[in-house]
Amino acid sequence: MQKKIIISIITVAIIGTIFFIVKNGNKLKEVQSIDNQTEKNQDNLSKSTAKISAKKIEVVHFHATQQCWSCITVGEYALKTIKEKFPEEYKNGTIVFENINYELPENNDMVMEYQARGSSLFVNAIMDEKDNIEEDVTVWRLVSNENQFISYFQDKLNKLLGK
């Protein structure tokens, strides 16, 4: 009888361990996939802006009426980066920042133009009179570290400006 109980306990422990490994292994693959996609996007951005600089940059923070901490912080950090790291460009209108509540009917045209599907941060680098609208998903990974966020976003805007 004791042998059956011990074998049952060992079996449950082994099955639990296997389940844990499989479950966490998939999460690791997802994180690695996100990191790889982020690196590809940054490489593509670097290649596409290596020779051309934007005449104007529009940074658009889309949000709901009720915002969570992350949504509020992404907007605050983006604006802080622009004001502190690009004061002249912000003052002269080369870099523009907008907070847009995507739930309000008067913002439908902007939501459709940017194809915003919820809380998001978009960067529109206007080059040769053409919009180059891209959603920046990396900022969500950096929202818990203000210094990393600002460094990343400053570098991105510098590249777009050809600096």
The domain spanning residue 142 has which CATH number?
3.40.30.10
Structure-block tokens of residue 126: 């206007």
pLDDT digits (tens, 9 = 90+) for 46-66: 544 445 688 999 999 999 999
13 and 58 in a single domain? The answer is no
77 and 43 in a single domain? The answer is no
CA dihedral over 23, 24, 25, 31, signed as positive or negative: positive
17 and 93 in a single domain? The answer is no
37 and 82 in a single domain? The answer is no
pLDDT digits (tens, 9 = 90+) for 85-132: 999 999 999 999 999 999 999 999 999 999 999 999 999 999 988 999
Structure-block tokens of residue 143: 């929202």
d(CA 78, CA 149): 8
Do 126 and 54 meet the contact criterion of CB atoms below 8 Å apart?
A: yes
Element at 118 (helix H, strand E):
none
63 and 135 in a single domain? The answer is yes
Range of the domain at 26: 1-51
